[in-house]
Structure 1
Amino acid sequence: MKELWRLIQQNVGVDADGIPGPKTAQALMKKLDIQPPAHTWPSQAEVRSGNSMFGRAGDERSLTNIRLPYVMRIAWEPERTVSTMRCHKMVAEPLTRIFQAALDHYGMEKIREMGLDLYGGCFNDRAIIGGKATSMHAWGIAVDMDPDRNGLNVHSPHAVFSRPDYAAFWEIVEAEGAVSLGRARDYDWMHFQFATL
């Protein structure tokens, strides 16, 4: 099997080590003019293995800055604002679409009122809070918003993002294939990620 992968890798122009990986898959798809299926994200386990489309945690070469469709306030220092977000290149377009669709749906006044402009972070090369596993933030594929009112151990109905007026936002997020931990597991309502559970 390794020899087969070596031949494929030589044919698509990536380092031939005989081990299937994201570079080989992307190069092969490009050569065969195959578009990746929309909204198909790997599982957390696949991401943590380092063999997913996202590569290795903390790899600066995989990151990019996106211009946000609206200015966000830093959650712990709301007088400071950000207009860009550092994330993995592969989620740059879906993230931009999410925030643009939220702006189109709610308008800036409502976004500010709801705290959908309180930025809690995206790329952060770290372990999960209270554990040893690598966080999805270490790949730049997770976003935290309004952490003060949607904390790790705050459940519905106390988490603000669990309220009915946020349903449209979560539908926008889920339309891009991203996962809300709040909607899926009723904890960490601040967090959504481009990896399945």
Structure 2
Amino acid sequence: MNKTSVRTLQQFLADQDAYHASIDGVRGPMTLAAVNATLQRHASQLPDGADGWSDRRRAVACLQVACQQNTIEVGPIDGLWGPQTEHAVEVLDTLQKTGSKPTPWRDQPTLETNPNGWYREAELEQALGSPTRKPPLTVVPCPWRLALAWDLGTSPSGIGCHEQVADSLARILERVHDHYGPQRLRELGLHRYGGCYNKRRKRGGTRWSTHAWGLAIDWDPSHNKLRWGRDRARLARPEYDTWWRLWEEEGWVSLGRTRNFDWMHVQAVKL
């Protein structure tokens, strides 16, 4: 559990008239008392031995009860924080904040829009020149604080990208920031910036990388390694669906969502 999920728990307890303190994300004595009172009212849903669970496990169980009450598929009420519970609590959080559940992301196809007319990879050298020459770059400020993925103590001033994609990138970053907010972005690891412009060839290949024109960005590379598929990559999880949608609506392409590798990578280049 993190602060966001504790706030979701506190909001549920407040809606049940069991909690009357601040929605502050701190699992303190008043939250614990409200959890215990609420679980007592739902004792028939708990398995044997639930009275001996730790405070944290009982808090998770209370969130699972909340999800069941809101017809959100959460699995058994066991007080264990696994992927299904994590996803269900995120759905509950969205329901609390917006009044409706998020649209099921896996029912939607990957967007194939190209509103900015991005080139295909095969066209790049003819259209933009040889990548052996440094492209015209523009630094786009990021609305949240970035940290270099390989040196988290260093914060870049912005993202240096090809000037042709700068306006699109700025729009995406603003929309991402508005949706998630700085705290949630940090929780999701989306402050871990893996670079944009880099004059190099594709790792494991011979052709020039789209990074060599400043048309691609890597995010959180240590948790989204080149060869990892959706079974391991963090950016393949459901909580990142809106992140990818905001890129795709501007025509950017996720190699993870289209090819199921290199989930760190998103590019303003069509395949």
Q: TM range, normalised to the smaller chain?
A: 0.7 to 0.9
What amino acid is the match of 1:141? L
Match of 1:114 in 2: 188
Distance 1:81 1:133, change over 3 A: same
Give the unaligned 5+ runs of structure 2. 1-113
Backbone CA RMSD of aligned residues: 1.3
Answer whether contact 1:70 1:83 (CA < 8 A) is retained. no
Normalised TM-score (structure 2): 0.56
1:69 equivalent among 143, 152, 157: 143
Answer whether contact 2:135 2:214 (CA < 8 A) is retained. no
Q: Which has the higher strand share?
A: 1
Aligned counterparts of 2:160 and 2:133: Cα–Cα separation in 1: 12
1:105 equivalent among 155, 169, 179: 179
Aligned counterparts of 1:174 and 1:75: Cα–Cα separation in 2: 23
Match of 2:48 in 1: none
The residue correspondences of 1:149-188 to structure 2 (distance < 5 A) are 149-188=223-262
Which region of structure 1 is more displaced relative to structure 2, 37-46 or 117-126?
37-46
2:213 equivalent among 132, 136, 139: 139
Higher relative contact order structure (alpha carbons within 8 Å, sequence separation ≥ 6): 1
Match of 1:46 in 2: 123
Question: Which one has the largest radius of gyration?
Answer: 2
Specify the SS of the correspondent of 1:112.
Answer: helix
Q: Return the offset for 1:61.
A: 4.9
Normalised TM-score (structure 1): 0.77
Q: Return the offset for 1:55.
A: 3.0
Distance 1:130 1:84, change over 3 A: same
Report runs of 4+ in structure 1 exceeding 2 Å deviation: 58-61
Q: Return the offset for 1:56.
A: 2.8
Q: Return the offset for 1:38.
A: 3.0
- Residue 264 of structure 2 corresponds to residue 190 of structure 1: yes
The number of equivalent residue pairs is: 158
Distance 1:61 1:45, change over 3 A: closer
Specify the SS of the correspondent of 2:155.
Answer: strand
Q: Return the offset for 1:112.
A: 0.3
Q: Return the offset for 1:114.
A: 0.3
Match of 2:130 in 1: 56
Aligned counterparts of 1:106 and 1:188: Cα–Cα separation in 2: 23
Specify the SS of the correspondent of 2:145.
Answer: strand
Aligned counterparts of 1:58 and 1:85: Cα–Cα separation in 2: 20
Answer whether contact 1:58 1:139 (CA < 8 A) is retained. no
Specify the SS of the correspondent of 2:199.
Answer: coil
Q: Return the offset for 1:58.
A: 4.5
Match of 1:123 in 2: 197
Answer whether contact 2:224 2:233 (CA < 8 A) is retained. yes
1:157-180 Cα offsets, whole Å, 9 max, x none, are 210000000000000000110000
Give the unaligned 5+ runs of structure 1. 1-36
